[in-house]
Structure formats: C-alpha cells, structure tokens
C-alpha cells in the first residue's frame, strides 16, 4: 500500500494521546488532529529531539481490553529510549468498572487504531516494527497486521503489514476463544461475529476464524507467552492451546501464573524475544 493511501486513511482514525513526544505529536498532527482524554496513561513514545536517531527497531505495545496504553510498565528500565517504544489506547480502559471488559469486542475501529499506529511508527522511525500485544490486544493486533476486510463492517484495511513487522509477541491472547460463560451469557465480548465466542467445538467467532485462516503473517519472528493456570484466558479451549499462534517459532509457558502475571513477570523474556529472537 502506498504512503499516500496511508495518509488518507489517517483522516479517518482518531488517536488518544497523553505523553507522545512533541516531535511525534507534530508529525502525527500533519496527518490527523489529536485528542487527550485519557490523561497520562493514554499513550507514550516518540523522539525527544527531531534529530534523534533510534538505535533499535521500535516496539509498539498493544494493551489488554480493560487497560490503557500506559497502565503497565514497559522496558525502559533496560535502556530502551522513548523513541523506540510506542503505545496508544484503543477503547477507553476499565473506566473504574471491573466488568467493563465484558462490554468490549473485536471491533474494526480498534483494529484500525492499532494498524494506523504501527504504520505511523514505521514511517516516523524509518525502521521495521516489533509488536508486543497482551490479552485481547493479541487478536486485535493480528488482524491489524493481517489486513483484508473487517468482519463486521466489510471495510478494506488494505494489504498485510507483514513486510515491515520484525517480531510479534503475543502474551495470553485468546486466539481460539476463551470464556465458557459465553455459552450461557450474552454480552459484547461474547459476540458470535466479533467476540471471543465459544459454544461447543469448534465454535469460534467469525473474527477468530478470520485471523486463524492464514499462517505466518504476524511477522518474521512470532512468539507467544502464556500460563497453564490463567483463569481469564484458559490454557486449553476445545483441546487447543488458545494462546498459541500457528507458525510461531517459540513460546514461553508458565505453570502457575495469573493472567496479568504472564505479562508483568515477562519483561526480560519479551526483551530477548524482540532483540535476539530467543526464548529464555
């Protein structure tokens, strides 16, 4: 897809931001006006000075359904610069409601937000992009990279972003569904078309069938991280390891971590996957 087409697509995407650097904000402003409605957790990343040259391929972090971009720490503690780390919020976080996650689904508007951030970071830095996604952010990111038509709107996202995705790390993602409650309850997260619906086997939602219909598009190096004792995204769904991605080259499997612990306890694991393409 041409850069001009990406510019035109930006006119239809709204970014939430908070602490993008001035340089990145200015760059994005040329493409689309920005809003700041989620405070300091809304987003992060960008060069401190226009002349700054990133030393590593940038990492785009895609949060879980009830998080915001800045809710979980990144690996700046490992000497990564803000010019190498990016995130922006799709949806609106938990809104102080512990059950808010049930009201979200795998909507095209979220896919487009993630897709446009990946594209923006690629052109802004001039480098390949690494993507680290958590929980519901995993299937959303996979569709953002995959492209093609949105399941519920039939909008054409365009060609796959695969050529400039270096590494994709999916942490605790419901790639084959998740919640048994979806067989008895009706809520957006259980939507048969754009939810993580499982009722019987195979029983995947249209969205999940779509992202699982092709192999190897997520990037050059694909990894997953998950736990066998995750109560939110269970280890097995219909005899499938739901967080595993077909075509992955490695995985980190924990025996006794919670859903969130699989992410927050994996910073060095993720860093090694991104930098050296190894599992430690």
In a domain, 163, yes or no: yes
In a domain, 4, yes or no: no
In a domain, 9, yes or no: no
Half-sphere exposure in the Cβ direction for 73 (13 Å, CA): 11
Domain that holds residue 92: 56-276
Domain containing residue 221: CATH number: 3.40.50.1820
In a domain, 175, yes or no: yes
Half-sphere exposure in the Cβ direction for 158 (13 Å, CA): 18
Residue 33 pLDDT exceeds 50: no
Helix 108-125, helix 137-146: angle, nearest 10: 70
**Within a 10 A sphere around the Cβ of 206, how many other Cβ atoms?**
15
99 token code pair: 């059950």
Domain count, the chain: 1
- The string of pLDDT tens digits covering residues 207-233 is 999 999 999 999 999 999 999 999 889
What pLDDT score was predicted for residue 159?
96
What is the four-CA torsion angle of 139, 14, 163, 30, rounded to 10 degrees? -170
- How far is the CA of 91 from the CAs of 24, 88, 109, in angstroms? 21, 10, 9
Residue 10 pLDDT exceeds 50: no
How far apart CA 280 and CA 259 sit, in angstroms, is: 19
Q: Which long-range contacts (CB under 8 A, 24 or more apart) does 209-214 make?
A: 210/143, 210/146, 210/148, 210/151, 211/139, 211/142, 211/143, 211/146, 211/175, 212/175, 212/176, 212/246, 214/146
Q: Which has the minimum average pLDDT: 66-70, 117-121, 249-253?
A: 66-70
In a domain, 8, yes or no: no
How far apart CA 186 and CA 192 sit, in angstroms, is: 10
The closest alpha carbon to 55, from 78, 27, 84, 75, belongs to 84
In a domain, 15, yes or no: no
Q: Is 200 exposed, middle or buried (0-12, 13-18, 19+ CB in 10 A)?
A: exposed
Q: Is the pTM of this model over 0.75?
A: yes
In a domain, 1, yes or no: no
In a domain, 179, yes or no: yes
- The string of pLDDT tens digits covering residues 161-209 is 999 999 999 999 999 988 666 665 677 778 889 988 766 677 789 999 9
């Amino acid at each position: 897809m041409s850069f001009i087409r990406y510019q035109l697509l930006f006119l239809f995407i709204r970014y939430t931001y908070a602490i993008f650097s001035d340089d990145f904000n200015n760059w994005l402003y040329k493409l689309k006006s920005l809003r700041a409605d989620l405070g300091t957790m809304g987003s992060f990343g960008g060069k401190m000075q226009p002349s700054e040259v990133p030393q590593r391929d940038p990492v785009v972090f895609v949060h879980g359904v009830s998080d915001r971009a800045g809710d979980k720490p990144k690996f700046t503690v490992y000497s990564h610069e803000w010019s190498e780390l990016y995130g922006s919020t799709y949806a609106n976080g938990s809104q102080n409601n512990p059950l808010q996650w049930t009201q979200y689904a795998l909507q095209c508007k979220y896919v487009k937000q993630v897709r446009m951030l990946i594209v923006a970071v690629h052109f802004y830095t001039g480098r390949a992009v690494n993507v680290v996604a958590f929980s519901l952010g995993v299937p959303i990111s996979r569709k953002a990279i995959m492209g093609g038509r949105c399941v519920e709107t039939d909008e054409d996202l365009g060609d796959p972003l695969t050529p400039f995705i270096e590494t994709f790390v999916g942490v605790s993602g419901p790639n084959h569904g998740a919640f048994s409650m979806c067989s008895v309850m009706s809520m957006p997260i259980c939507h048969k078309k754009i939810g993580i619906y499982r009722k019987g086997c195979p029983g995947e939602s249209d969205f999940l069938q779509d992202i699982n219909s092709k192999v190897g598009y997520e990037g050059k190096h694909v990894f997953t991280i998950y736990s066998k004792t995750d109560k939110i995204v269970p280890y097995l769904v219909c005899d499938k390891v739901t967080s595993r991605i077909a075509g992955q080259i490695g995985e980190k499997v924990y025996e006794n971590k919670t859903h969130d612990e699989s992410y927050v306890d994996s910073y060095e694991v993720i860093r090694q996957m991104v930098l050296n393409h190894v599992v430690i």
